[in-house]
Amino acid sequence: MTDAIRRHDPLVKSFASDNYAGVHPEILQAIALANEGHQIAYGADVYTEALQEVFRRHFGPAAEVWPVFNGTGANVVALRAMTAHWEAVVCAESAHIHTDEGGAPERAAGLKLLTVPTPDGKLTPELIDRQAWGFGDEHRAQPKVVSITQSTELGTLYTPEEIKAICDHAHSLGMLVHLDGSRITIAAAALDVPMRAFTTDAGVDVLSFGGTKAGMMFGEAVVVLNPDAVRGLRYIRKTQMQLASKMRFVSVQFEALLAGDLWRRSARNALAMARRLADAVRGIPGVEVPRPVEANAVFAILPRDVTERLQKRYRFYTWNEATGEVRWMTAFDTTEADVDAFAAAVAEEIRSSV
* Percent of the chain predicted with pLDDT > 90: 97
Give pLDDT, residue 2: 81
Give pLDDT, residue 105: 94
Is the per-residue pLDDT at 1 higher than 80? no
| pLDDT class of 354 with cuts at 50, 70, 90 | low
Over range 217-238, report the average pLDDT: 98
Could you tell me which residues are beta bridge partners of residue 210? Answer: 220
By C-alpha distance, which of 204, 209, 233 is closest to 221? 209
Is the per-residue pLDDT at 73 higher than 80? yes
Cα–Cα distance, 81 to 344 (Å, whole number): 48
Give pLDDT, residue 161: 98
Could you give the C-alpha distances from 3 to 6, 35, in angstroms and in order? 10, 20
Task: Tell me the per-residue pLDDT of 171-223, one tens digit each, with 9 for 90 and over.
Answer: 999 999 999 999 999 999 999 999 999 999 999 999 999 999 999 999 999 99
Strands 176-181 and 142-149: parallel
* Cα–Cα–Cα angle for 256, 31, 240, rounded to 5 degrees: 90
Task: Tell me the per-residue pLDDT of 266-287, one tens digit each, with 9 for 90 and over.
Answer: 999 999 999 999 999 998 999 9
Over range 50-66, report the average pLDDT: 98
| pLDDT class of 28 with cuts at 50, 70, 90 | very high
* Mean pLDDT over the full length of the chain: 97
Give pLDDT, residue 156: 98
| pLDDT class of 326 with cuts at 50, 70, 90 | very high
Could you tell me which residues are beta bridge partners of residue 209? Answer: 181, 221
Cα–Cα distance, 148 to 193 (Å, whole number): 18
Give pLDDT, residue 353: 78
